[in-house]
Structure 1
Amino acid sequence: MREMQTFASPHADDWALVRSRLPRDLDLSRLARETKALLRLRGVRDAESLLRLALARGPGGLSIQETAAWAELVGVAQLSGPSLHDRLHQSVDFLRAIVRSQLEHGRSAHSPLWAGRHLRIVDSTSLSQPGSKGTDWRVHAVYDLAAGGFTHLELTDAKEGERFSRGAPVPGELRLGDRGFCNGPELARYLQQAGEGGADFIVRMRWNTLPLRDDTGDPFDLIRLLQQISQPGEVGSVLVNAVTGRDRPLLPLRVVALRLPAEKAAANRKRLLQKASRQQTTPDPRSLIAAEFLILGTTLPSEIPATEVLTTYPLRWQIELAFKRLKSLLHIDRLPTHTQTGGQVWLHAHLILALLCDTVNRDFLAFFPSGPQ
């Protein structure tokens, strides 16, 4: 018996409401022509109908045959299953262009959230096709906390790694990233993208992933700094310079370190020892020391207290929650397709719906009660 699908697409009678959530200047017919998704109609009324087919097949949870039957029932299209399959496979660039239009429209709806800055988070999530034992796709994202939605979404295969500079920053942006994004050349590229408007970052560090230099140009001993922070909850902060590449200028950086509670530090050390045991290696003693700390690197000026840097970083979990909603509510991770093109159609249709949901978030946040004045 086939597992019952959870439908995320709207009822046919609600399509007008869905369409109103798309950018007003979005010309679907033009996009369909430019991307060669709809050179001939042949059973599909127009570009809007093609989008509805993709949404029904993707987040709607319908099979190809079910989508064809639904389309004929509601008057969207008259296609056989194989013909619909071919039409959808020709629509990848069309769907990708819609995602880009939604993102460009949403970027204009931002507001300062913290210390006059636009607080954004960068991360990615991995997806697999049926029967796969590894990562087949990655959705790279930038999430705006004030807008309550994504300002950048990019679908790539597994060969494309995480990059801090994905999604151009806006002037005054403060971007948060986890340890996987602590890469000197990428951090420098992000700041360069910001240009004269300026941007800052807070990124989590490992003790050995970012080469550091002191004021004299000598290597900076981060472990020695950590050993000077003796009590749980104690914070250390130091100004250093990060190496961003050969023959490139050093990046001024403030390192902020927090000694974790004893139980958290013990759990981190235990994980390191267990991993070393599985790999039949001996852990670096410096890694065991660093496991007792939360270490952050930031370009924020010194007038921003280290304690505020530490309390801001945990907001990064909001993008993890956004990814969880993509999977638990929209079921973007339940790919039924085994081909690359089929996966792109499925995933881009889900990204379109995710951005439609973000417009609802923006409307809600725009009128969120501010409390007594």
Structure 2
Amino acid sequence: MARQDDSVLVARLKQSLPAELIDEQAREVGALVRQRRVDVVALVWTLVFGWGAGASASLAALQRSYERHTRTKLSASSFHQRLKNPALLTLLRTLWAHASKTQPRRALGAFEQVLALDSSFLRLWRGLLDDWPSSNPGQAGARLQMVVNVSDFTPNAVILHDAIQNERQSWKTLGPWLRGALLLIDLGYYDYSFFVRVANHAGFFLSRARRDCALTVVEVSDPRERHLIGLKLKDALAQTRREQLELRVCGSYRRPDKKPRRFEFRALAHRHPDGDMRAWLTNAPTCRVALEDAPTLYALRWQVELMFKGMKSLGRLSAIPTSDETIMRVLILASLLFILCCGWLREHCFGAQKLWTSSALRTMCVVREMSELVLEHLIAPRRTDTSLSLDQLLLAQLARPSPCRPNAFSIPFVVEPLPLQVA
């Protein structure tokens, strides 16, 4: 019988993604026409937690994990057809939309949410080169962009596209999720029109200023630095001797077929230990982002970097030999659901007040190593009376997937083995 602490953790996962919801959504999208030998609930959980520690990065290993926990036997072609079904991809997208909304949003400081926007290149199997081209010759890859809530380590928005497309084109339209939130923006998204659109959605942003920033200084907080007014920001930072300095800068940008639009931002400058002066741009007032808090707040952006690191090292998407685009999208969505589940378990174990003292990346590593136990608790109660015994399952998985394929490793005995004699 499972221990009480184990059942509580598994209950947290089942509460966030209940079996009834998975079955209902599967029938709506056509992923489950009728209940046959494939349990769609067990299949979803296997996709999320099936890449256990030591398991090979292959679809065959994923199939064996499903068979091991459901005590059933499927042919390789049947399992692949399930993964290639576009309805399964639609189901995972629906579950992702539901799961990302179940996590309660907590205020962080003066903001309703603190979000980090960043992107990363995902190396994929070379068989996907036609569907997922990249700028590297002979290398297939995808560009994954995420908006991550740094307070609970959960993604708010995800965009997946080929690696050649420009990152900024994906965020031409923004939503109400920005209202009252602080968005930490990577330099790859440095664009004045993007900053203004964030402000127009009642949101706030914080971004590093480029070294060649040509915005004009119109106001300084220190009266002794009035001589900097009228200079470009890069020249003002080079002339000041202050350790910290707050400035007001202005500029303009021109949209296609429209008049130039003027804007004003705060520039929060800090001297780095190497002597270089660095600045951050924001539209947040002083009561929300103080001068001395800018570097610390912007450092929270590394939460999304940790998420990318865990997804690449634990998901091993580049090592999965598949040339089917739908299957790869299914596996990427399953990896994102795994990150969400790790966030739920991390919050349940440590509580909201101790999340900052526990490593999110360590949580992902530990959950991945214990994924076999997690799957056992999730799927074992769904077994039926017709489930295979352990001996039957072992014999079924030891058999060759294709009996017609010649086996190069089948070497006959040179000497006949002696019969076993029992005294």
Unaligned runs of at least 5 residues, structure 2 = 1-6, 130-135, 220-228, 357-423
Distance 1:61 1:187, change over 3 A: farther
Cα distance, 1:351 vs structure 2: 0.9
TM-score, with length taken from structure 2? 0.65
- Write the deviation string for residues 73-101 of structure 1: whole angstroms up to 9, x where unpaired: 44365421112111111122221221121
Structure 2 match to 1:200: 204
Structure 1 match to 2:153: 148
CA RMSD of aligned residues (A): 3.5
Select 2:185's aligned residue among 165, 177, 190. 177
Cα distance in 2 for partners of 1:49, 1:135 equals 30
**Contact preservation (8 Å) 1:121, 1:177:** yes
1:83-232 to structure 2, matched below 5 A, reads: 83-90=78-85, 91-106=88-103, 109-131=104-126, 133=136, 134=139, 136-163=141-168, 168-192=176-200, 194=201, 198-208=202-212, 212=215, 221-230=232-241
Q: How many residues align?
A: 320
Cα distance, 1:123 vs structure 2: 1.1
**Contact preservation (8 Å) 2:247, 2:266:** yes
1:257-336 to structure 2, matched below 5 A, reads: 257-262=269-274, 292-303=276-287, 304-331=289-316, 334-336=319-321
Identity across aligned pairs (percent)? Answer: 24
Cα distance in 2 for partners of 1:342, 1:55 equals 14
* Larger relative contact order, structure 1 or 2 (CA cutoff 8 Å, min sep 6): 2
Cα distance, 1:56 vs structure 2: 5.8
Structure 1 match to 2:245: 236
Cα distance in 2 for partners of 1:160, 1:26 equals 38
| One-letter amino acid matched to 1:141 | M
Cα distance in 1 for partners of 2:77, 2:187 equals 45
Tell whether 2:22 aligns with 1:28: yes
Distance 1:238 1:67, change over 3 A: closer
Cα distance, 1:62 vs structure 2: 5.8
SS state of the match for residue 95, structure 1?
helix
Cα distance, 1:159 vs structure 2: 3.8
Unaligned runs of at least 5 residues, structure 1 = 1-12, 266-291
Q: Which moved more, 1:126-135 or 1:305-314?
A: 126-135
| One-letter amino acid matched to 2:207 | V
**Contact preservation (8 Å) 2:142, 2:162:** yes
Cα distance in 2 for partners of 1:88, 1:312 equals 41
Cα distance, 1:158 vs structure 2: 1.6
Cα distance, 1:113 vs structure 2: 1.7
Cα distance in 1 for partners of 2:264, 2:159 equals 30
Tell whether 2:259 aligns with 1:250: no
Structure 1 match to 2:222: none
Larger-Rg structure? 2
Tell whether 2:351 aligns with 1:365: yes
| One-letter amino acid matched to 1:49 | A
| One-letter amino acid matched to 1:48 | V
